[in-house]
Amino acid sequence: MIDQSKFVEEALNEYHRLPEEGDSLYIRRFAPLGLDIDKYGSGRSDGKEDKVRKFYEELRENTGMSFDATVWESGCIVKDGNPAIRLVKFGDNEYGKAISNKLFRSGDDKYVAMLHATAKQALVIDIKDGMSADLKVLFAVVGGSLPMQVFVNLGKNARLGLFEWHASDCAKPCFSGTVRELRLQEGAACDISVLHNENANTTVLEHTKGTTSEGGSSTINFIYTGGNAVRARNSIEASGRESMVRVGELAISSKRQKFDLNTYVVNAAGGSEARLSSAAVAMQESTCYLKGFAVITNGSKDARSFVEEKGLLLDGMAKINSIPSMSIGENAVKATHSSAIGPIDQDSMFYLTSRGISAETAKRLMVLGFFSGPISGIRSGLVKEVVSSVISGKIRSNGEFGELPKLNAENVIWEGSREAGIEQHYKYRTEK
Amino acid sequence: MKLEIKDLYAGIDGKAIIKGANLSMKEGEVHVIMGPNGSGKTTLAKTIFGYPSVKVTQGDVLVDGKSILGLTTDKRAALGLFLGFQYPVEIEGVGFVNFLRASKEAVSQSQANMKELMKDIKVWSGELKMDDSIIGRALNKGLSGGEKKKAEILQMILQRPKIAILDEPDSGLDIDAIKVVAENINKAIEETGVGMLVITHYNRILSYMHPQHVHIMVNGKIVADGSKELIEKLEKEGYESFDHR
Ligand SMILES: Nc1ncnc2c1ncn2[C@@H]1O[C@H](COP(=O)(O)OP(=O)(O)OP(=O)(O)O)[C@@H](O)[C@H]1O
Ligand SMILES: [Mg+2]
């Protein structure tokens, strides 16, 4: 019998010592031992459901957001009558097993295999041809650890708007792990925002694979604010002709948080477009790695690929390492990548403070401004507000994270919003 | 409000730029500083506002008899000082309206009335003949040189300072725009009694204004003080006759 919590703690400590985990660590810590799911916080609901409910209520109170599904270590509540979304237990039937195998193909990432060893359920979002849905899902780690699988299947010309809020409230070291597969059929379009705002005892593992068929379009925004460490390995592919992929990464790290974000955008067909925009702000002693990778496969004529990484350092000890990279197997393509990292501009700071604005507020304004491009890539107004509030709250509280924020997007505008938009924004604010 | 610059010496990176400047002005007065390029006019304005890399080595800047050199930039603004920039900074993603609100709230220490603010912006941007699409934009982003200058005046008017230092409010403006800007500066003086310290190279804007005091700055020093007649002398003789290095 192994002491699970001690085991997790040791493994996480070791992980944190290494900027990039080596296989030997994994093999030593995870592979030979395996994880005992029942031991690892996925047993019967021991009052956790109440905790989740509290979580949910608090979030709804603070943000006005209600969730179509709420998932925690050992259960899931799906709002009545929503045919688009359901929970599948892996052991239950052939379908569950198939999903499980689909999500955890062999040869995948080692950490994914670790998640596989502990996962028992998957959330399946299935939108039929020509149908559309707009969903919000809360993932709450309230006691043990949450290895969660999300399987998204969009039929032909189907539409999906999805917001995932990943939160945790663990007193002991734990992980919040997600394996996500997105499959878009011809002409389908998704707009997904994934917000990670876990607490400091949580290590975040994020793993998404996406394929986009002909004429389809995938927009995915990852927002990383919480967790003591984040390890993201994402690969989103423009698979069919004229398909389009847009991935946004917004990261704001503080204290000793360590974010390690490795994202591939892939052009695998002619006329396809793949775009990755990463924006990171690092506070205090935190570190953020941005490892964007553009892949253009052989035969993808007239493909367009853009990787943009930018970073803003708020403190002398903060680090951002931007390592954009590409592999191009085709000649007739257009590919650009750029990277820019720097501290807050002294002249901008002076300009704002010369108008009476305090240095802290000025900083916050500039950080929100820095993120305004990526935030404007999120389509839902409410999600924009939530994301802005979480970011603004993190700066306001001097780097705290994992809290459930109140909506307070005071100083945000999103690019391209005109007068009407602004007035509406304030109207909305004052009416609430 | 009274602003005094007393025997001020200041520099950047160990290089002396302001070398013994003296100037005193009150609310309601209109002062002009003229001086050749690189003489230190902008640096003087930045020193008054506590620009981080400018180091004061001697002398003082006083507001109502009290030194402000120990105050952070925002606290100086809160006293009722305003700086219109020679080169307004473009700031990504910071909305013009939100910025105005933040500055209004900071200076007044109370919550801004958004409705009123929006109305004021519309009225005054109209007066300044500005396209009010500026409202939905990021701060100074994509504005032309002249539009940026007008936006500075708009901010000055909305912030209602007691003393405003305008660093070349006329540079980059077309002939009609100079008149519009001067008229609005005059209106602000009339309505609020704000004191003005206008830095400029050109007589044109001054022909619409009524400066009581003219100061000539050469090589980091105020080398001459006088009335409008000084400008005539300057027009005839250039800066050479003022340069007693
Ligand atoms: N950040 C800086 N670092 C080094 N030198 C500087 C800096 N800023 C200004 N200077 C120098 O200080 C001197 C005065 O510059 P300043 O901008 O104050 O002149 P000015 O009188 O406003 O000129 P202009 O009429 O061209 O606007 C110049 O020689 C300039 O090169
Ligand atoms: Mg100047």
DSSP codes of every residue in A397-423? TTS--S--PPP--TT---TT--HHHHH
**From the list B53, B97, B138, which residue is nearest A369 (CB)?**
B138
Q: Inter-chain contact A351–B46, Cβ cutoff 8 Å? A: no
The pLDDT of residue B1: 96
The pLDDT of residue A3: 45
- Which residue has 């849905």 as its token pair? A133
Give chain A's mean pLDDT: 79
Amino acid at A100: S
Kindly report, residue by residue over A73-117, the tens digit of the pLDDT.
Answer: 777 778 776 778 877 776 666 666 666 666 665 455 666 766 666
Q: Is the CB of B35 under 6 A from ligand 1?
A: yes
The pLDDT of residue A102: 65
Cβ contacts (< 8 Å) between A423 and chain B: which residues? 118
What is the DSSP secondary structure assignment for residue B89, as one 8-state letter? Answer: P
CA dihedral over A115, A11, A252, A19, signed as positive or negative: negative
Kindly report, residue by residue over A113-126, the tens digit of the pLDDT.
Answer: 666 666 777 888 98
What residue's CA is closest to ligand 1, atom 25?
Answer: B37
What is the DSSP secondary structure assignment for residue A29, as one 8-state letter? Answer: H
Residues forming a β-bridge with A274: A245, A305
Averages of pLDDT over each 10 residues, chain B, 245 residues: 97 96 96 96 98 96 98 96 97 88 87 85 92 81 92 94 97 94 94 96 92 95 92 87 72
Atom of ligand 1 nearest to the CA of B44: 18
| Ligand closest in space to the Cα of B39 | 1
Residues with CB under 5 A from ligand 2 (ion): B 41-42, 86
What residue's CA is closest to ligand 1, atom 17?
Answer: B42
Q: Is the CB of B41 under 6 A from ligand 1?
A: yes
Q: What are the residues whose beta carbons fall under 8 Å from the beta carbon of A129, sequence distance 6 or more?
A: A155, A156, A157, A158, A185
The pLDDT of residue A156: 97
Report the distance separating Cα B96 and Cα B229, nearest Å: 40
For testing the chain A interface, which of B73, B104, B167 should be mutated: the one with the most A CBs within 10 Å? B73
Residue B62 near chain A (CB below 8 Å): no
Q: Is the CB of B138 under 6 A from ligand 1?
A: no
Q: How many CA atoms lie within 13 A of B124 on its CB side?
A: 24
Q: Where are the beta strands (DSSP E) in chain B?
A: 2-12, 15-26, 30-34, 54-63, 66-67, 81-84, 163-167, 195-199, 213-218, 221-226
The pLDDT of residue A417: 39
Sorting pLDDT into bands at 50, 70 and 90, what band is A405?
Answer: low
With beta carbons less than 8 A apart as the criterion, state whether A212 and A238 touch: yes
Kindly report, residue by residue over A313-371, the tens digit of the pLDDT.
Answer: 999 999 998 888 888 888 888 988 888 999 999 999 999 999 999 999 999 999 988 99
Does residue A428 surpass a pLDDT of 80?
no
The pLDDT of residue A231: 87
With beta carbons less than 8 A apart as the criterion, state whether B221 and B17 touch: no
Cβ contacts (< 8 Å) between A417 and chain B: which residues? 95, 136
> Which helix (H) or strand (E) segment is A209 a member of?
strand A202-212
With beta carbons less than 8 A apart as the criterion, state whether A266 and A275 touch: no
* A202-212 vs A258-267, strand pairing mode: unpaired
The pLDDT of residue B15: 96
Does residue A15 surpass a pLDDT of 70?
no
Does residue A13 surpass a pLDDT of 60?
no
Percentage of chain A lying above the pLDDT 90 cut: 41
The pLDDT of residue B195: 97
Cβ contacts (< 8 Å) between A396 and chain B: which residues? none
Cβ contacts (< 8 Å) between B142 and chain A: which residues? none
The number of C-beta contacts closer than 8 angstroms across A and B is: 123
Q: Whole-model pTM above 0.90?
A: no
* Segment among A47-51, A379-383, B19-23, B25-29 with least mean pLDDT: A47-51
Q: Is the CB of B42 under 6 A from ligand 1?
A: yes
Sorting pLDDT into bands at 50, 70 and 90, what band is A152?
Answer: very high
- Which residue has 């109305």 as its token pair? B119
**From the list A355, A366, A419, which residue is nearest B136 (CB)?**
A419
What residue's CA is closest to ligand 1, atom 5?
Answer: B12
Structure tokens at B29: 């007065």
